[in-house]
A = this chain, B = another copy of it.
Amino acid sequence: MRVITVSRQFGSGGRELGKRLADALGFKYYDKHIIEAAAEEAKKGGTYTDSMAASTLVSLPLTFARSFSVPLISPAEMAGTLGAQHAAMKELASSGDCVVVGRSGNVVLGDETPFRIFVYADMDSRIARCRGRAKADEADLTDRAYEKKIKRIDKQRTSAHRIVSDIKWGDPLGYDLCINTTGIEIKSIVAQTAEYAKHFFENNGK
């Protein structure tokens, strides 16, 4: 399978890039909502089907992941939940070419030799991107408040990544290509990133 993983700083536009890459390449698209739903379904003994993935996608606009709300669960619950999600992710990735956003896919899907992208931007750019897509209850936050929340979420991603890898989240060595989206319109970098991915797969005989 050809797998692209997109890891991203909060507010860098990585999720949008992942979705657009999937569209451009005709790959399936999975993010945390789809993976969480698949893990839940597996827990109930069911199977997560493509049609469910499609309906989840329809019901979740691109802005959905921007919520700052964080569920409160224990470390043990977290480990169990992550384990189930990683299993679900592997299952999904083994079923066809795909783009996986988040969930430490770069590490968890390592056996698939994925093309691993990291998306980042400077803080001002990330705040502006968050503000531009904020839900009503977050629209009038100050820049300082946005920055605090952005850093908190990146910290959570750092912690979750530490569970599966010795390489720090965001360390370039964990990725094949790191893209700075500061001042960049995401749709303007889709074509050349797709080219990069295609060459990567060709080089790896895929």
Contact = CB atoms under 8 A, between A and B. Distances in A.
Interface stretch (A20-28, A77-85, A177-185): A177-185
Contacts of A50: none
Copies, count: 2
Contacts of A120: 172-173
A120 B175 CA distance: 11
Q: Which residue, of A118, A175, A176, A203, has the highest number of chain B Cβ atoms within 10 A?
A: A176
A179 B177 contact: yes
Contact of A180 (B122, B175, B180, B189): B175
Contacts of A118: 172, 178
A199 interface: yes
A140 interface: no
A178 B172 CA distance: 7
Interface residues of A, number: 22
A32 B106 CA distance: 35
A205 B203 CA distance: 33
B188 A180 contact: no
Main secondary structure of the interface of A (DSSP, over half): mixed
A43 to B, nearest CB: 36
A95 interface: no
A41 B189 CA distance: 41
A199 B188 contact: yes
A192 interface: yes
Contacts of A172: 118, 120, 170, 172, 178, 180
Contacts of A170: 172
A201 B202 CA distance: 27
Interface of A: 118, 120, 122, 170, 172-173, 175-180, 184-185, 188-189, 191-192, 195-196, 199, 203
